[in-house]
Chain A
């Protein structure tokens, strides 16, 4: 286990139990400067607000009046998981959704894995949460059967009632709450058939949107506590740099500033890189005071990092032989017999997640307690890192998972929480640390800058016979092993296992050392794999005079791998659906400057195709319509799934056209939304989402929609204008 470096702070070596913590953590009274609303579950934690609900299991509390609370253990950041999963519980429980209140679970292993990423929540938790609901139903039925002195087989549950089949008597869930608590927990339950679903697969509104529209929803940035102090921070602009000299005189002289704190570097994965924080009696003063710090940094070796030159180097590294990752068939033979050959190089830049809520949390470290309120995707990681830092048991770190104002992968890394803990440990007060937008943009975990070079051979009929694919990008693995000079073969599996049928393939990894922190960004590598595969397919189709749809279908049909036939059928089906719903089949009747581009990509176990319809006038690209088709297996919330695809189009459009993080002399050039131009309402096309009705197990929704947009756009612009875009973004601000 890695250790934390520098720590001038006093450590309390106590390993305290949760019980002792709860006993010791009284709520401060008096001296309130501002109106304070302590989150309800914090009050319950502290035993102030008695929790009279019967806990049927970790996920379900049922009150005597029938009010039902369903806990969501996965983190909510706008992807709708805290509606979709609890609705599945309610469905199996035969609970009335109108009687259900959803609460976000604190960090606790009783909820199962809480790290929320990889579009995995529904895939991982669908079954366990349905079982939790079904078990609760069985316990309620058992309790009712006992009251009536009949067999449970003579009872059934519906709409918050258990019904006696023999005499049609009913007992409400509220009546049964305290009895059901003592029913034996069934080991096995039979889950409902699809035809009996009440909520799964229907259109559900987000459970808390009535709070959102009146400004009452509490996000990570909104937590208020008695005695709260506010902090702002600045980090070294270059990764690996250190603080050399600090003059805090001017900052300390500001009215309202209480202290300036040197934050140590956390030498753990996703740890804070360290910085200088200012504490004040409000956020604005803290942010102003940070500007007045006189800091000299020792910038370190990454000062050599310039993305313009680096990208050129990546291109050079993939346009020459690189390190062999995998190989099948005989590509040299295929190339020597080719009737047609084509090659192309595709690139993409770094991306910043830039959620609307910058990194923010409240942390209160006391002698025998540590409590965190954070927008986070990884509460257990906060427990682990702060437990290690404070030398306490991870379970003694109480983490309240706040609603995140967007995350997109960034808030899986909770460096901002570590920093707030360091500050609070020193001040003894609860600390709200909010990063400025500039810090958020400049101290990120960026999507990999990347280059790919593909060479293909085709026979006379346009069958692809050989495929050479070289990829170079600093991988996420560099976070754990900074010495990696290129992406390991196992991380290039998405190329090797791509569903296109190519018998002869060679995959090579080009050198790409990391000079900044690389992280998951919504859709991750699928962004550039999807772009390269579907754009190159379009170029190949054009080379042999075929249309995209029939060419790609032919590519799929050439895949003889028996294990991939189901996936191929599903990929082809969504591509056909997107094309059919668009004007693809009548595209020749479109005005001359309009075109439709297609793309399909399989990622996070889901299949998404897009048909993008554009109008091109000179350099101006106007996206008119997007038809998106998705097969994600069984859908939980139709409206939520639709919303995720609409959002994926917007994020896909931002990264296709305009967003890129650039580095100069090791530091990020971009500062705020003026030079990181994310898509605005004026560019919004008409988006239609078509969801396949499927009985397959549910798969990813948050990310897979992002990948197909950029290639479909490139293909559409080519169809409309003959101009081919191979570099993301098409219109970089810092060329």
Chain B
């Protein structure tokens, strides 16, 4: 029987070589291009997606190991782009080129899911695997703090 994988709530048959990293299955097979290629070695975080809610680097995660698992990409993080992090990203005008930002947001969402009120040090520690060459780190930090505040008010 064909193996399948759930991406943003939708079931897809894994009809590629099982060694293919999830990144390329998403980008080249399914045209989910929001997830970016940056280094191919898990060094930059541009390809970050969620596996059952946890941030993973899709460029080094073979698709074969993900049968019946649930993947969320930036396209599926929220229905209307209204995740508190996405809103905080807009309010702080975080993106410059924006290429790394999907990975940054997905990584931050994974952080807030387990730690709703991270300290500055915890933000640094969680986000240190995500590179931004444009240098938007100050705004990323601020946006994550703002989103945590929003979540705290909702709670």
Contacts and interface: CB of A to CB of B under 8 A. Distances in A.
A353 to B, nearest CB: 8
B150 to A, nearest CB: 15
Given A218-B33, A283-B27, A684-B141, A213 B105 contact: yes
B101 A646 contact: no
Given A79-B96, A673-B39, A214 B44 contact: no
B101 A678 contact: no
Contacts of A674: 41, 43
A646 B132 CA distance: 12
Interface string A249-283: 00000011000000000000000000000000111
Given A209-B89, A284-B24, A216 B136 contact: no
A230 interface: yes
Contacts of B31: 34-37, 224
Interface string B6-27: 0000000000110011011001
A34 B135 contact: no
Contact of B128 (A221, A643, A651, A682): A682
Contacts of A256: 17
A214 B74 contact: yes
Interface string B99-142: 11110010000000000000000011101111111111111110
A218 B36 CA distance: 11
Contacts of A680: 128-131, 137
Interface of A, secondary structure class, is loop
Contact of A214 (B16, B37, B81): B81
B30 interface: yes
Nearest to B77: A214
A210 interface: yes
A46 interface: no
B145 interface: no
Contacts of B132: 356, 650, 681
A356 B99 contact: yes
A214 B86 contact: yes
B34 interface: yes
Contacts of A216: 34, 75
A574 B100 CA distance: 32
A210 B137 CA distance: 19
A536 to B, nearest CB: 27
Contacts of A354: 133
Contacts of A212: 89, 95, 98, 101-102
Contacts of A643: 93, 96, 136, 139
Nearest to A284: B24
Interface string B36-57: 1111110110100000000000
Contacts of A684: 124, 137-138, 141
Contacts of B30: 34-35
A436 B90 CA distance: 31
B29 interface: yes
B24 to A, nearest CB: 4
By size class, the interface of chain A is: 35 or more
B28 interface: yes
A687 B136 CA distance: 11
B136 to A, nearest CB: 7
A576 interface: no
Interface string A179-221: 0000000000000000000000000011001101111111101
A357 interface: yes
A221 B93 contact: no
Given A214-B75, A403-B97, A34 B89 contact: no
B44 A206 contact: no
Contacts of A15: none
Interface of B, secondary structure class, is loop
B41 to A, nearest CB: 5
A210 B135 contact: no
Contacts of A650: 132, 134-135, 137
Interface stretch (A311-319, A404-412, A464-472): A404-412
Interface string A592-622: 0000000000000000000000000000000
A406 B97 CA distance: 6
B33 A215 contact: yes
Contact of A673 (B24, B44, B95): B44
A322 interface: no
Most buried by B among A355, A404, A648, A684: A684
A384 interface: no
A387 interface: no
B140 A356 contact: no
A283 B98 contact: no
A405 B137 contact: no
B128 A681 contact: yes
B90 A209 contact: yes
B95 to A, nearest CB: 5
Contact of A209 (B36, B93, B100, B128): B93
Nearest to A209: B95
B96 to A, nearest CB: 4
A214 B75 CA distance: 5
A506 to B, nearest CB: 38
A708 B106 CA distance: 34
A700 B125 CA distance: 35
14 contacts: A78-B134, A209-B89, A209-B94, A214-B78, A215-B32, A215-B34, A230-B28, A282-B24, A354-B133, A356-B44, A437-B40, A649-B135, A681-B123, A681-B130
Given A78-B98, A358-B38, 6 more contacts: A209-B94, A403-B98, A437-B39, A437-B41, A646-B136, A651-B135
